[in-house]
Amino acid sequence: MKQSSRRRGRVRRVIIVVPSLFTLASLFFGIWSIVLASQGSFYLASWWIVIAGVLDMLDGLSARMSKTGTKFGGELDSLVDIVSFGVAPAMLIYFLQLSSLGPYAWVFCYAFVVSVALRLARHNVQHDESPRAGFSGLPSPAAGMTLATFYPFTRTDFFQTQLGDLPWPQILIFLMIALSLAMVSQIRYARLPGIGLHSLRGVLGLAVNLTILGFGIWSRDIFFFPLGIAYFTYGFVRTAVIGFMERGDDDESERAAAEGTGPAIVADLKQSGRRRRPGR
């Protein structure tokens, strides 16, 4: 009995360490990306940030599946994310485009990293947020990988024939500012749908994930940057649509109240009923 319990204890300790190993591997690729970007190897530097994002996803997935998530692991994950999805993509864009804009262009990189840090600090204190409720603000891995996959996108024929003449240094500054604001905002972003075979929702989630995986393997250079822009834009569009619908509901309620119909009549009846009770 004692030997079996000791064995189970050792196995559990190994399982607890696994998520942190994924996290540290993500940090490794984030640092390697910075080194490669400083040497001008932008293509590999871009994809190492994407690899860091995959490892970050595996980190959370392994912790949830094994039910071994710890506060230490959560804090370590946040510290690593600042490097892999804050500093690394910011330095990549700086060496790639912004260094030619003057001695103070690095300030935009600083603002992006600060937004990543604020986003992660806020996430860490929101313990009551349900994992299925989505994200409050653009997730930092999504923002970092959107910037990272810009350079592979520039290597495609579509970019060089259709978009190559645009003022990309200025556009990237605007994009960094927009991503920074999205991260620190309260805009809701959905998670990737869950995978399963026992419900329609799970099958649809499996189809979505396999589609992303397929395009990511076969057309990765032209696929990931537009996907990041689409996900970033989705949050703003969703918020605008919900706000418009709520505004329409408020206008309808005000109109019903002004006409003396709907909820206003019910409220009047309740108030009159309360006024009559003392006289009974």
The predicted model scores a pTM of 0.80
118-133 residue pLDDT tens: 999 998 887 545 555 6
Would you list the domain boundaries of the chain?
A: 2-279
Instruction: Give the contacts of 137 (CB within 8 A, at least 6 positions apart).
Output: 119, 122, 182, 183, 184, 185, 186, 187, 189
Residue 254: predicted pLDDT:
63
**Residue 30 burial class via C-beta count within 10 angstroms: exposed 0-12, middle 13-18, buried 19 and up:** buried
Is residue 221 a contact partner of residue 150, using CB atoms and an 8 Å limit?
A: no
pLDDT band (50, 70, 90) for residue 138:
very high
Task: Region of 137 please: left (phi>0), alpha (psi -120 to 50) or beta.
Answer: left
- Summarised one tens digit per residue, pLDDT across range 216-262 is 888 889 999 999 999 999 999 988 898 888 776 665 666 666 665 54
DSSP string, 77-93: HHHHHHIIIIIHHHHHH
Residue-averaged pLDDT of the chain:
82
3-state SS, residue 30:
helix
The three-class DSSP label of residue 137 is coil
Tell which phi-psi region holds residue 67, choosing left (phi > 0), alpha (psi between -120 and 50) or beta. left
CB atoms within 10 A of CB 240: 11
pLDDT tier at 135, thresholds 50, 70, 90: confident
Q: Would you put residue 40 in left (φ > 0), alpha (ψ -120 to 50) or beta? A: left
Distance CA 4, CA 172 (A): 58
> Is the predicted pLDDT of residue 176 greater than 90, yes or no?
yes
Q: Which two tokens stand for residue 162?
A: 């259709």
User: Over the stretch 19-43, which tens digit does the pLDDT of each residue have?
Assistant: 888 999 999 999 999 999 999 999 9
Apex 20 CA angle, 18 and 23, nearest 5: 120
- pLDDT for 216: 81
More confident residue, 202 or 226: 226
Q: Tell me, what's the pLDDT at 72?
A: 81
Instruction: Select from 3.30.420.40, 3.30.300.350, 1.20.1440.230, 1.20.120.1760 the CATH code of 2-279.
Output: 1.20.120.1760
Nearest to 96 by CA among 19, 29, 40, 165: 40
Out of 6-15, 80-89, 150-159, pick the least confident. Answer: 6-15
Is residue 45 within 8 A of residue 75, CB to CB? The reply is no
